[in-house]
Chains A and B, each alone.
Chain A
Amino acid sequence: MSSDATVTPVTGGFWEDTGKRGIASWIFSTDHKRIGLLYLYSVLGFFLVGVFLGVLIRLELMAPGPTIMTAKTYNAVFTVHGVVMIFLFIIPGIPASFGNLVMPIQIGARDVAFPRLNLLSWWLYAIGAVIVLTSLFTGGGAPDTGWTFYVPFSARTGTNVSLAVFGVFVLGFSSILTGVNFVTTIHRLRAEGMNWGRLPLFVWSLYATAWVQILATPIVAITLLMVIAERTLGVGLFDPSRGGDPVMYQHLFWIYSHPAVYIMILPAMGVISEVIPVFSRKPIFGYKMIAVSSVAIAAAGSVVWGHHMFTSGMSDTAVMVFSFLTFVVAIPSAIKVFNWVSTLYRGSISLEAPMLFALSFILLFSIGGLSGLILGAAATDIHVHDTHFVVGHFHYVMFGGTGFAFFAAAHYWLPKFYGRRYKEKPAIVAWALMFVGFNVMYFTMQVLGMKGMPRRYFDYLPEFARLNFVATVGSWILVTGLIIMLVNLWRGLLKGEPFEGNPWGGASLEWITATPPPTENFEEDPVVTHGPYDFKRAGEP
């Protein structure tokens, strides 16, 4: 294969003709593809930081008693792990990286509606990240409140909560800007013939997500400012000893943070809805229902936040109302799962890397979703609340769900933008290791939770020792797979075999433009004549 592949391996399309040079051609670029890649590498970097911390957590829990760190350090490590994973990896995750890369092309636009705002959003992300990181080493040191910053502890602890929370506040603006940009782009910049019924489902999911970003994010932003006001000015908003209401904080926090889990999962579902039909060679089953269910999930998901608070001392009436509403969200989620499975039925399935990740998404998300129902029913939740069952549950949804969808997207779309592809075999080995390691770790954690092991403790009773050891071994398998996957992607994209045309036979617009796409995406503005999963007509000019 190529021997001269060491210098500037990726060429053509938007990789050239930018007018700027070096790093400036990235951090000051308003091209949605460059911003998408910028975001991709930023979130990936923080993902790795988070994984490193996660592995440290598992190492500490490998055996009872202090293993590698003190209790105080442990509190800081799981807090930072949570903050990094949630605010720096998974919320911007798919929308800001793959959404930016692919969405404008999928609707036949030359760029997003507000390219500069798009760049500003990345800058705010970078600034917010720097602030969060600074908070770890300044003031009273890394926050130890858990990623949820619950009062009254967060109002009193001596650690640097104020700065960390301010960083999250800035990150919120970055998210809102992406949302505003995407809503406007999808409304205004669709190509001729790209009506709402022809939007790829990934775009539909980004559209629903964007609304949640716009409507819910301001609430957490204000809430976090209130925490800062309480800490620095002594305003008695949440601290009961000053006349405040700590349960009110939990309401305000979850009014955003529950919808935020749909910011995390909806774009992932969009990716899956793209990959499954392409690798089954069959139009998606129930296009309309999947599109509508994205919006339904966004709407219903915004009114279920109370299920995080069943044991908080909230009124029983509220417990019943929120428990009921939580069960309602299961309906549109199940609609999607059934539609994906029906798409597979009698398709000619080809098990390549993106498809393997997508299929495991369905399984892992279903396990996560069903364990969510156990938590959504107040009676059972009271037993497993704040145990490792919860930790297992949300890793199944966020990592097994969104994380795996992120990897599916990487294997599906990145070759398109690099014009080179990864090797298939190592990708499959990596996938298998990750899938096994994942289940060994998190399923075990769910069992531990059922047996009563609480979360956020650095020590546990001796009877939990064996299963904790198993879970830690699981984390090593998972990380081995992860490393193989990333190395394979990296090497493949930089110097792998050329990737040309439309090898997987996708029917949406990103597959008709050049590889890599030119700066303004299309040589000529496209005119759309068929739906995104109309594979029969995709070959026609």
Chain B
Amino acid sequence: MSDHDAHKEGSVHIVSYGQLVAVWVSLLLLTVTTVAVTRVDLGAGKVWAALAIACVKSGLVIAFFMHMKYEARLFRIIFFVALVTLAVFIGLTFFDVLYR
């Protein structure tokens, strides 16, 4: 029935090739960084470094490749809820793992 007006929220945004390639290149560079970081002796900081880089990378993928940057606010909030939920699940598990 209402297929035609389904797109009224948030117009369709087209990401240019240049932008996509730029994101892709930065992902590659970040991968190189991940590998490079393993050669530096950071002790426990190693894990944090790897996680930080991974966060930036997934952020890029979500924002550009998954279009989240251009979506309506509601979708971004919903997406954020999912992320926070995951973080809470992992966080609470650490009450066990860290103190065992």
**Chain A CB within 10 Å — which of B82, B93, B95, B96 has the most?**
B96
> How many residues of B are counted as interface, with CB atoms below 8 angstroms from the partner's CB atoms?
15
B85 and A318 contacting across the interface, CB-CB below 8 Å: no
Asked if A318 and B1 make an inter-chain contact with CB atoms under 8 angstroms apart, the answer reads: no
- Structural contact, A315 and B99, CB atoms closer than 8 A: yes
* A316 and B93 form a contact (CB under 8 A): no
Q: Does B4 contact A (CB under 8 A)?
A: no
When chains A and B are docked, how far (Å) is the Cα of A251 from the Cα of B91? Answer: 12
Chain A 208-221 against B: per-residue CB contact (8 Å), 1 yes, 0 no? Answer: 00000011000100
Q: Does A317 contact B (CB under 8 A)?
A: yes
Q: Do A315 and B100 touch (CB < 8 A)?
A: yes
Which one, A187, A303, A316, A321, contacts B88 given CB within 8 A? A303
Q: How many residue pairs at the A-B interface have CB separations less than 8 Å?
A: 42
Contact of A318 with B95 in the complex, beta carbons under 8 Å? yes
Interface 0/1 of B18-29, CB less than 8 Å to A: 000000000000
Q: Is B89 in contact with chain A by the CB < 8 A criterion? A: yes
B92 part of interface (Cβ distance < 8 Å): yes
Interface size on A, residues (CB 8 A): 19
A322 to B99, CA, bound (A): 14
Asked if A318 contacts B96 (CB within 8 A), the reply is yes
Whole-angstrom distance between the Cβ of A410 and the nearest chain B Cβ: 30
Q: A215-B82, A255-B89, A302-B85 are in contact. Are A110 and B1 (CB under 8 A)?
A: yes
Q: Once bound together, how far apart are the Cα atoms of A312 and B13, in whole Å?
A: 51
Does any Cβ of B come within 8 Å of A226's Cβ? no
- For residue A335, CB closer than 8 A to chain B, the reply is no
Contact A315–B85 (Cβ < 8 Å) = no
Separation of A314 and B92 alpha carbons in the complex (Å) = 12
- Sampled A-B contacts (15; CB under 8 Å): A251-B93, A251-B96, A302-B88, A306-B92, A314-B96, A314-B100, A315-B95, A315-B96, A316-B99, A317-B96, A317-B98, A317-B99, A318-B96, A318-B99, A322-B95
5 nearest CB pairs, A to B: A315-B99, A318-B96, A317-B99, A318-B95, A315-B100
Q: B residues within 8 Å of A by Cβ? A: 1, 74, 81-82, 85, 88-89, 92-93, 95-100
Q: Chain A: residues with CB nearer than 8 A to chain B?
A: 110, 187, 214-215, 219, 247, 251, 255, 302-303, 306, 313-318, 321-322
